[in-house]
A and B are shown apart, each in its own frame.
Chain A
């Protein structure tokens, strides 16, 4: 039986690439717009489109329930903004985040913002196993700033090293977009699916 992934559709953007990528990697994907359906999910992917408040809007009524699920071991992956909402809050908006990761989302600093394009992720995490080229696609103006030891990968941008890959319990977060990162991204998604299956 393929892994069933519940993909959250916040109604603000394109889920095309992530859905297609996960299916391509062997998962069965259920897209949900009514977030009350998350309580039945065996594995959740929070895609990376939109702005912080807009992304949290539909999740807010289910915030405590979802956080408890993730902290107690439901496998999950948050991508870009879908990773940022795992934090307690963001400088980008005023809504609280899910609060799975301790810390806040802060503005990215640099001469050219957004950080857009392919950059290296330095990580020894098993999700990177088999990745031949550690360049991944980024498109963001904010970044996670954890207040606990959850960073499993970093990236250098304009001379500063920033955390871009996180894990707590069975919840992974990527600032980069594996679904737009060609072969390297597909390897990470396949590894994530294998990981999720192993913890179920």
Chain B
């Protein structure tokens, strides 16, 4: 049967992997190609590379680091951050990404999802959604979580699926970086609504949090950064922990 995936996330700024709290206060933690290869050795099922600089000037530099990361990696690599067009997506794929995630640009112009899906296949189009609780629902925020959009996150996920997204990378801004666990209600709401895989993200502070999100929601994968970056545990330890509790992993 299909196993649950563990995906270490590399937030990359100016060529370095960084980690912050609630999208702010960034610290350097390492170099992407080395960290990605190390996570593969530990048993990571995929690697996500998010360029959080995402300014036009650094584009080529970032693509160079994507290539270097990909050249040493034999598990799928998702690249995101600053993808604004089909051409950007092609560049990322040509640099060695297996999947590309789009966020703000898709909210601004949803047709980018269908264009990318038609050009490259749904399997490589990941729609990243940053959601934040507002009253009784979750609202989509863009531009690294700084801009409210008025769009309902659950409805947006469904729309992204209808447009051809192959996967949803769902980050809760309420839990991101604070290490108190994934946003179970948000993850559950989105996973119930769509029939494409949902990657839960934001809030992982322990192995138990990863177990919780798999045990309590329909998430197909869990993305985590700091617990791995700060060597709090290895991917192998997380998998053993999950296996002992009846979650099927590779």
Contacts and interface: CB of A to CB of B under 8 A. Distances in A.
B71 A20 contact: yes
Interface residues of B, number: 35
Contacts of B3: 117-119, 135
A182 interface: yes
Contacts of B123: 114, 116, 139-141
Contacts of A140: 123
Interface string A85-127: 0000000000000000000000000011111111110000000
Interface in A161-200: 177, 179-183, 185-186
Nearest to B1: A156
Interface string A123-160: 00000000001010111110000000000000011100
A50 interface: yes
Interface in B81-130: 93-98, 118-124
Contacts of B124: 13-14, 49, 139
Given A117-B197, A118-B250, A13 B120 contact: yes
A14 B93 contact: yes
B122 to A, nearest CB: 7
Contacts of B97: 14
A27 to B, nearest CB: 15
B1 A119 contact: yes
Residue from B71, B97, B197, B218 whose CB has the most chain A CB atoms within 10 Å: B197
B2 A115 contact: yes
A177 B46 CA distance: 13
A53 B166 CA distance: 19
Query: Which residue of A120, A137, A140 has the most chain B CB atoms within 10 A of its CB atom?
Result: A137
A117 B98 contact: no
Interface in B203-250: 218, 220-221, 250
A141 B195 contact: no
Contact of B74 (A51, A113, A114, A182): A182
A118 B71 CA distance: 21
Interface size class of A (residues with CB under 8 A): 35 or more
Contacts of A114: 122-123, 166-167, 196-197
Contact of A112 (B93, B94, B121, B220): B220
A72 interface: no
Nearest to B40: A182
B2 A119 contact: yes
Contacts of A49: 120-121, 124
Contacts of B1: 119-120, 156-158
Nearest to A136: B250
Contact of B195 (A12, A113, A179): A113
A162 to B, nearest CB: 12
A13 B118 CA distance: 11
Interface string A65-100: 000000000000000010000000000000000000
B195 A139 contact: no
A182 B75 contact: yes
A16 B96 contact: yes
5 contacts: A16-B67, A17-B70, A17-B96, A117-B3, A120-B1
Interface of A: 12-14, 16-17, 20-21, 49-51, 81, 111-120, 133, 135, 137-141, 156-158, 177, 179-183, 185-186
